[in-house]
Chains A and B, each alone.
Chain A
Amino acid sequence: MNQKIRRFGAGVLVALWAVLTGFAWFSPVKELSDAERRPLAQMPQFTGQSMLNGTFVKDFEKYTLDQFPLRDQFRQIKSLFHYYVLNQLDNNEIYIAEGHAAELEYPLNEASVNRALGQLQRVYEKYLKNSGSKIYTAVVPDKGYYIAEENGYLSMDYKRLFDMVRQGMPWAQHIDLTALLSAEDYYFTDTHWRQERLLKVAQRLSEQMDITPPQTEDFTVTELERPFYGVYYGQAALPMQPDTLCILENPLLKDCRVYNYVTEKYTQIYDMKKAEGKDLYEVYLSGAQSLLRIENPSASTDRELIVFRDSFGSSLTPLLVDDYKTVTLVDIRYINVELLGNYIDFHGQDVLFLYSTLVLNKNLI
């Protein structure tokens, strides 16, 4: 009897294997992974050359991995086993703590920080040294700063990083944001901070920069309809609730126009077309852009601001525009520092360097 059961079981195993094989072969090819926000590998072209030099084999393996049937579900199975059976603390360097998915930001990459500081020094030397600008800098801590160590996860030496920035930018006034924030100010499934919880940050920056601090009553909070699946949602591959993404609106912001130097077109502060896209966070100033200028016709002064920033600046900057006639946003990850003079006339504007620990530590600048 046992032998019959075993034979039947083997039959089921072979049948399942055959079904998965069939799906692997004949499932429709997908272009993009929603969970990972990246294009999926496509079937490579077979040539004698590509076979001989090994590129076909490599690309075909990538194709089979990317196009595997129920790929996201299989990744989820792996994550569940990894976390809950093997009890491993992180999966592909993503961990879950206090309901947040976060990346292990470890160790401190001093070379990367120094490289970034070198780039910022170049900006200062070339454009700001003799411009008469008031220069401010603030480092945005990633959420690991608040949740990693106390939950037993590895984290970088943040104190050393902040000290390095302080010493590396002696020409800027440093504004410490660490005490203002906590884990709740970040999305559960994403790296970024929540705009609706940034008024305290905007107020601190405004006080230091001598502009009118924004107040809660200045804004109405609008929640986007679609759920926000942050970047860690796909990477963690665990069942998590999506976040909700809010925007802070008011008539002044509505009147602002945003000029994109690359497309040479105007958009709004909140680019609602992006609310239909993969990454809802791109709603803020249209996501990753090298050079933007916010024009504020209702500004109470003629002052101007230049923000050197990463993506954290996209959600914060709208809260700083009140007093400024123009705010120029520069992302030197996407534009060569040497070219900035072709687009921006540096003539004593306020300047804010706003970079996250993530960008400073990951060789991204």
Chain B
Amino acid sequence: MVFSTIPFLYYFLPIVLAVYFLVPNVLKNTVLLIASLVFYAWGEPRYVILMVATILLFYGCGLAIGKARKLRWRKFWLTISVVVSLSLLGIFKYADFFIGSFNKVTGLGVPLLKLALPVGISFYTFQCLSYTIDVYRGNAQPQKNLISFGAYVALFPQLIAGPIVRYVDVARELDSRKHSWDEIALGLRRFLVGLGKKVLIADSFALLIKLFRQSGEQSVVFYWMYAVAFMLNIYFDFSGYSDMAIGLGRVFGFHFIENFDYPYLSKSVREFWRRWHMSLGSWFRDYVYIPLGGNRVKTARWVFNTLTVWMLTGLWHGAAWNFVLWGLFFAVLLLVEKWVPALQRLPDLLRHGYVLLAVIISFVLFNAESVAQAGRDLANMFGFGGLPAITRETVYYLRSYGVLFVAGLIGATPLVRNTARRISKTRAGALLEPMVLIGLLVLCSAYLVDGSFSPFLYFRF
């Protein structure tokens, strides 16, 4: 199930909220667990078994690590949890990628598994891994209550598209959390803002991208429009989802970490990754990069660590070579930034421009169906594809989407948030806020009723 659908907004969520707030505190996690499994089963009932198996595996391993006195046994149970979960991830997400690549290199015809990707498997696997690793490191106590642990893993607000919530960050709230009308109101506000970002902006850009792909009159300018549209599409889609997840979490008494901090304002790629999908970046930093030695090693080893982490980051996003290249592209930029400190001394405008250009190019690579298509797309963007500079179709869509582009570019900066904050401090602002939120609910519902189903981009990860 996805948040931006009528069944979620007007069927699932109202029932869950009503039951959740009616039952006593002791049953709230049970309600959340059942609701989360129903949420997950909606559309993919078979993979609930995989989800339950993952919960049981990590619950058991967590307890075993906590109970084991000897390091050897702690390591053993940690290894079990890591190997089994990564194997499942490997089988369901990466097997066909590796088999396909192997077949291409060797010319053999090893049959593909053709398994459907379980929704959100990358997210919940990484959450679970953070749990056993933190218990092993002594940073977290093992969760003794299976229901509470299940609720953590399956928690529907962030189950399928993050943020990647670490167990230590919500451990206390899993056992005891407070609910208040103010928190619920703040949560709903955040949820509706996210819904608006997804439905009104991201999905509109998604339509333009679809029209671009279908176009028989492409041009250089149309390619750039596509590239910027995708850059805005993925930002509003993913950050919108994160807003909804954080908002819903707050309604249920959880405080999830932030996942985006206006990444397109960055003046370096390093800064971009501190602002983009922050929960994933910090996960790789804490559970891969630092264990590999981080940057406190010799240069060659540091380069290896960087390339490894970013190749894995790329692979996490998708089982295809263009994702690997996407990750490595950022690795190279990060290395260059480290080795050429003069870059940091460039005027801010140039630094912003460089980051935006790098990000646009990276997302063209990211969104391509293959490396070959990415190559063609980039060649066309830079005028090497023999396309005309502009066509009447390009002009039409430029006119039609002009306001949306302006809205998207402004919305990707803190301008709207800061203005809203300033206004909301006044009495008129306090009156205006609920009206805006009601308007958002009505408008998003109107778009959903009029439109067709549009899945979130980050589902495939």
Is B6 in contact with A9, judged by CB distance below 8 angstroms?
no
Q: Which residue of A lies closest to B204 (CB)?
A: A86
CB contact under 8 A between A68 and B445, given known A54-B43, A57-B43, A61-B5 = yes
Measured CB to CB, the closest approach of chain A to B394, in angstroms, equals 11
Is B217 in contact with A13, judged by CB distance below 8 angstroms?
no
Please name all residues of chain A whose beta carbon is closer than 8 Å to the beta carbon of B404 when the two chains form the complex.
Answer: 86, 88
B178 interface residue per 8 A CB criterion:
no
Q: Mark B425-444, 1 if CB is under 8 A from A, else 0.
A: 11101110111011001110
- Give residues of chain B (382-411) contacting chain A, Cβ–Cβ below 8 Å: 392-393, 396, 399-404, 407
Measured CB to CB, the closest approach of chain A to B343, in angstroms, equals 38
Is B449 in contact with A71, judged by CB distance below 8 angstroms?
yes
CA gap between A51 and B46 in the complex, in Å: 10
Is B216 in contact with A18, judged by CB distance below 8 angstroms?
no
Q: Mark A14-55, 1 if CB is under 8 A from B, else 0.
A: 101110110011000000000000000000000000011010
Please name all residues of chain A whose beta carbon is closer than 8 Å to the beta carbon of B350 when the two chains form the complex.
Answer: none
Q: Which residue of A lies closest to B46 (CB)?
A: A52
Please name all residues of chain B whose beta carbon is closer than 8 Å to the beta carbon of A12 when the two chains form the complex.
Answer: 434, 438
Please name all residues of chain B whose beta carbon is closer than 8 Å to the beta carbon of A3 when the two chains form the complex.
Answer: 182, 430
Is A60 in contact with B14, judged by CB distance below 8 angstroms?
no
Please name all residues of chain A whose beta carbon is closer than 8 Å to the beta carbon of B438 when the two chains form the complex.
Answer: 12-13, 16
Measured CB to CB, the closest approach of chain A to B368, in angstroms, equals 24
Q: Which residue of A lies closest to B399 (CB)?
A: A89
Please name all residues of chain B whose beta carbon is closer than 8 Å to the beta carbon of A79 when the two chains form the complex.
Answer: 450
CA gap between A10 and B441 in the complex, in Å: 12
B293 interface residue per 8 A CB criterion:
no
Is B445 in contact with A10, judged by CB distance below 8 angstroms?
no
Cross-interface CB contact of B446 among A60, A75, A107, cutoff 8 Å: A75
CA gap between A352 and B115 in the complex, in Å: 55
Please name all residues of chain B whose beta carbon is closer than 8 Å to the beta carbon of A52 when the two chains form the complex.
Answer: 45-46
B339 interface residue per 8 A CB criterion:
no
Measured CB to CB, the closest approach of chain A to B400, in angstroms, equals 4
Is A153 in contact with B396, judged by CB distance below 8 angstroms?
yes
Q: Which residue of B lies closest to A4 (CB)?
A: B430
A87 interface residue per 8 A CB criterion:
yes
Cross-interface CB contact of B401 among A2, A8, A25, A88, cutoff 8 Å: A88
CB contact under 8 A between A7 and B446, given known A13-B434, A17-B441, A24-B6 = no
A221 interface residue per 8 A CB criterion:
no
For B182, B427, B446, the residue with the greatest tally of chain A CB atoms inside 10 Å of its CB is: B446
CB contact under 8 A between A10 and B181, given known A24-B10, A87-B402, A87-B403 = yes
Is B450 in contact with A74, judged by CB distance below 8 angstroms?
yes
A301 interface residue per 8 A CB criterion:
no
Please name all residues of chain A whose beta carbon is closer than 8 Å to the beta carbon of B399 when the two chains form the complex.
Answer: 89, 152
A237 interface residue per 8 A CB criterion:
yes
CA gap between A17 and B402 in the complex, in Å: 32
Measured CB to CB, the closest approach of chain A to B402, in angstroms, equals 7
Measured CB to CB, the closest approach of chain A to B156, in angstroms, equals 16
Is A57 in contact with B42, judged by CB distance below 8 angstroms?
yes
Q: Which residue of B lies closest to A66 (CB)?
A: B449
CA gap between A214 and B427 in the complex, in Å: 72
Cross-interface CB contact of B431 among A5, A13, A25, A92, cutoff 8 Å: A5
Please name all residues of chain B whose beta carbon is closer than 8 Å to the beta carbon of A51 when the two chains form the complex.
Answer: 45
CA gap between A162 and B283 in the complex, in Å: 62
CA gap between A16 and B445 in the complex, in Å: 12
B453 interface residue per 8 A CB criterion:
yes
Is A16 in contact with B441, judged by CB distance below 8 angstroms?
yes
CA gap between A342 and B169 in the complex, in Å: 78
**Contacts between chains A and B (CB distance < 8 A), count:** 130
Is B434 in contact with A9, judged by CB distance below 8 angstroms?
yes
Please name all residues of chain A whose beta carbon is closer than 8 Å to the beta carbon of B448 when the two chains form the complex.
Answer: 65
- Size band of the interface chain A makes with B: 35 or more
A64 interface residue per 8 A CB criterion:
yes
B273 interface residue per 8 A CB criterion:
no
Please name all residues of chain B whose beta carbon is closer than 8 Å to the beta carbon of A87 when the two chains form the complex.
Answer: 400, 402-403
CA gap between A351 and B182 in the complex, in Å: 76
Is B445 in contact with A64, judged by CB distance below 8 angstroms?
no
Is A2 in contact with B427, judged by CB distance below 8 angstroms?
yes
Q: Which residue of A lies closest to B396 (CB)?
A: A154
Is B396 in contact with A89, judged by CB distance below 8 angstroms?
yes
Please name all residues of chain B whose beta carbon is closer than 8 Å to the beta carbon of A64 when the two chains form the complex.
Answer: 5-7, 10-11
Please name all residues of chain B whose beta carbon is closer than 8 Å to the beta carbon of A85 when the two chains form the complex.
Answer: 403
Measured CB to CB, the closest approach of chain A to B420, in angstroms, equals 13
A1 interface residue per 8 A CB criterion:
yes
Q: Which residue of B lies closest to A104 (CB)?
A: B396
Measured CB to CB, the closest approach of chain B to A153, in angstroms, equals 7
Please name all residues of chain A whose beta carbon is closer than 8 Å to the beta carbon of B216 when the two chains form the complex.
Answer: 107
A77 interface residue per 8 A CB criterion:
yes
- Give residues of chain B (1-58) contacting chain A, Cβ–Cβ below 8 Å: 5-7, 10-11, 14, 42-46
A334 interface residue per 8 A CB criterion:
no
CA gap between A86 and B399 in the complex, in Å: 11
Measured CB to CB, the closest approach of chain B to A286, in angstroms, equals 32
B459 interface residue per 8 A CB criterion:
no
Is B433 in contact with A6, judged by CB distance below 8 angstroms?
yes
Is B393 in contact with A154, judged by CB distance below 8 angstroms?
yes
Is A77 in contact with B446, judged by CB distance below 8 angstroms?
yes
Is A13 in contact with B449, judged by CB distance below 8 angstroms?
no
Is A61 in contact with B7, judged by CB distance below 8 angstroms?
yes
Please name all residues of chain B whose beta carbon is closer than 8 Å to the beta carbon of A16 when the two chains form the complex.
Answer: 438, 441
Measured CB to CB, the closest approach of chain B to A107, in angstroms, equals 5
Measured CB to CB, the closest approach of chain B to A141, in angstroms, equals 19
- Give residues of chain B (293-316) contacting chain A, Cβ–Cβ below 8 Å: none
A261 interface residue per 8 A CB criterion:
no
Measured CB to CB, the closest approach of chain A to B325, in angstroms, equals 33
B110 interface residue per 8 A CB criterion:
no
Is B188 in contact with A10, judged by CB distance below 8 angstroms?
yes
Measured CB to CB, the closest approach of chain A to B43, in angstroms, equals 5
Q: Which residue of A lies closest to B427 (CB)?
A: A2
Q: Mark B230-255, 1 if CB is under 8 A from A, else 0.
A: 00000000000000000000000000
Is B14 in contact with A18, judged by CB distance below 8 angstroms?
yes
CA gap between A317 and B403 in the complex, in Å: 46
Is B6 in contact with A75, judged by CB distance below 8 angstroms?
no
Cross-interface CB contact of B181 among A7, A20, A106, cutoff 8 Å: A7
CA gap between A18 and B438 in the complex, in Å: 12
B98 interface residue per 8 A CB criterion:
no
Please name all residues of chain B whose beta carbon is closer than 8 Å to the beta carbon of A71 when the two chains form the complex.
Answer: 449
B184 interface residue per 8 A CB criterion:
yes
A350 interface residue per 8 A CB criterion:
no
Q: Which residue of B lies closest to A18 (CB)?
A: B14
B447 interface residue per 8 A CB criterion:
yes
Please name all residues of chain A whose beta carbon is closer than 8 Å to the beta carbon of B403 when the two chains form the complex.
Answer: 85-88
Is A6 in contact with B442, judged by CB distance below 8 angstroms?
no
Given A89-B396, A154-B393, A154-B396: 6 more A-B contacts, CB < 8 Å: A65-B6, A65-B448, A78-B443, A78-B450, A88-B400, A88-B404
Top 3 closest pairs, chain A to chain B, by CB: A9-B434, A10-B185, A78-B446
| Partner-A contacts on B (CB < 8 A) | 5-7, 10-11, 14, 42-46, 181-182, 184-185, 188-189, 204, 216-217, 392-393, 396, 399-404, 407, 424-427, 429-431, 433-435, 437-438, 441-443, 445-451, 453
| Partner-B contacts on A (CB < 8 A) | 1-3, 5-10, 12-14, 16-18, 20-21, 24-25, 51-52, 54, 57, 60-61, 64-65, 68, 71, 74-75, 77-79, 81, 85-90, 92, 106-107, 152-154, 237
| 8 A-B pairs with C-beta separation under 8 A | A5-B431, A12-B438, A13-B438, A14-B188, A78-B447, A85-B403, A88-B403, A237-B450
